[in-house]
């Protein structure tokens, strides 16, 4: 087993976290990862009352160390939903995508509820804010990630955040990790664990549709594209510093780079697009995935992802330790 500051803080067996992906990380995936010894997170994302009452409630009944992932700026737009999440007493709350004031406010509120508070950051400036706000742990997300991200690459970002944290709180790596090699690399960079999204999105317990999973399995990293088109068509006011990585399809080819035009035509385009999503039309729907998609070639049980990631990392670390020689 690999023991780190993260496993010690949370009381989990393995330093592996399932990213709280909206419409993908439901109760079944969360519970499967938690039962396998990692940290499962329900992806509440944009805040939906019915989803919270179903999936957060089921995760709570599953017990163990589990959590909820919340996109901060969207909760400000939906009064009452934050209190609904806290009402289920998640042991861990993962916060992402908020400004400095929101980070301070939501971190304080979550900590007051008794939860461990993990804050995702994309640069050292955000990391400093999260540390000052009292975060229990940081997730340093690089631009290789699927879905929304900024522009700092994982490899140089992580040690910079680790240096800033100075061992006071654990640092978790996100973006560019799909297996034990990524976990071993994260530990070598001084981090305390990994958060994986794309790999867990393509598991048996994921809420992703059949078309979504098949598209990711068959896709290559070269097929991915950074786009704001899905945010614009949904009318979600993402800060323009963030882009979302998705497997490219007919929708991204038509609309990427035409944000203003799509916004102007949204009333006309959105109904047809939503209908296509409802029927799992992979030529139109979002297929969020990271640059690790080359490494994701099958649909597997979430528990096997956790187990194999840790086992492979242990093997790599032992091999590296064995390659050391004493100075002559």
- 227-258: pLDDT as tens digits: 999 999 999 999 999 999 999 999 999 999 99
Split at pLDDT 50, 70, 90, the class of 1 is confident
Which residue has 């949204």 as its token pair?
Answer: 266
How remote is the C-alpha of 106 from its chain's centroid?
18
Question: Which three-class secondary structure state does DSSP give residue 196?
Answer: strand
Q: Give the integer Cα–Cα distance in Å for 24 and 160.
A: 30
Here the tokens at position 179 are 């297996």
Q: State how beta strands 116-121 and 92-96 pair.
A: parallel
Task: Tell which residue, 168, 267, 251, 180, has the closest CA to residue 215.
Answer: 251
User: What is residue 162's predicted lDDT score, i.e. its pLDDT?
Assistant: 98
Contacts of 323 (CB under 8 A, 6+ apart): none
Please give the domain boundaries of the chain with CATH numbers for all domains.
Answer: 12-207+296-318 (3.20.20.70), 220-278 (no CATH)
Q: Give the integer Cα–Cα distance in Å for 121 and 95.
A: 9
Q: What is the DSSP string of 35-51?
A: HTTSBEEEEEET--HHH
User: What is residue 328's predicted lDDT score, i.e. its pLDDT?
Assistant: 66
66 pLDDT exceeds 70? yes
Q: Rounded to the nearest 10 degrees, what angle do helices 27-35 and 302-322 cross at?
A: 40
């Amino acid at each position: 087993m690999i023991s780190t500051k993260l496993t010690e803080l949370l009381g989990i067996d393995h330093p592996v976290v399932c990213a709280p992906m909206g419409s993908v990380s439901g109760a079944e995936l969360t519970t499967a990862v938690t039962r396998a010894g990692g940290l499962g997170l329900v992806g509440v994302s944009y805040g939906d009352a019915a989803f919270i009452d179903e999936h957060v409630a089921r995760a709570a009944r599953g017990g163990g160390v589990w959590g909820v992932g919340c996109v901060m700026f969207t909760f400000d737009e939906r009064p009452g939903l934050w209190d609904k999440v806290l009402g289920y007493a998640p042991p861990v709350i993962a916060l992402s995508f908020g400004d400095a004031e929101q980070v301070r406010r939501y971190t304080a509120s979550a900590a007051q509820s008794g939860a461990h508070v993990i804050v995702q950051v994309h640069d050292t400036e955000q990391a400093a804010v999260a540390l000052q706000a009292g975060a229990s742990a940081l997730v340093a997300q690089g631009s290789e990630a699927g879905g929304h991200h900024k522009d700092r690459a994982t490899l140089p970002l992580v040690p910079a955040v680790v240096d800033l944290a100075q061992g006071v709180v654990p640092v978790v790596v996100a973006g560019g990790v799909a297996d034990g090699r990524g976990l071993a690399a994260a530990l070598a960079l001084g981090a305390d664990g990994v958060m994986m999204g794309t790999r867990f999105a393509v598991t048996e317990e994921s809420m992703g549709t059949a078309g979504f999973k098949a598209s990711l399995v068959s896709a290559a990293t070269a097929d991915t594209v950074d786009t704001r088109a899905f945010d614009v068509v949904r009318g979600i006011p993402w800060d323009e510093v963030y882009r979302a990585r998705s497997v490219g399809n007919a929708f991204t080819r038509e609309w990427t780079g035409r944000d203003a035009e799509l916004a102007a035509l949204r009333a006309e385009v959105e109904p047809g697009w939503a209908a296509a999503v409802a029927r799992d039309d992979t030529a139109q729907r979002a297929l969020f995935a990271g640059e690790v998609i080359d490494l994701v070639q099958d649909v597997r049980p979430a528990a096997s992802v956790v187990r194999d990631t840790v086992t492979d990392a242990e093997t790599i670390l032992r091999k590296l330790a064995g390659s050391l020689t004493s100075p002559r």
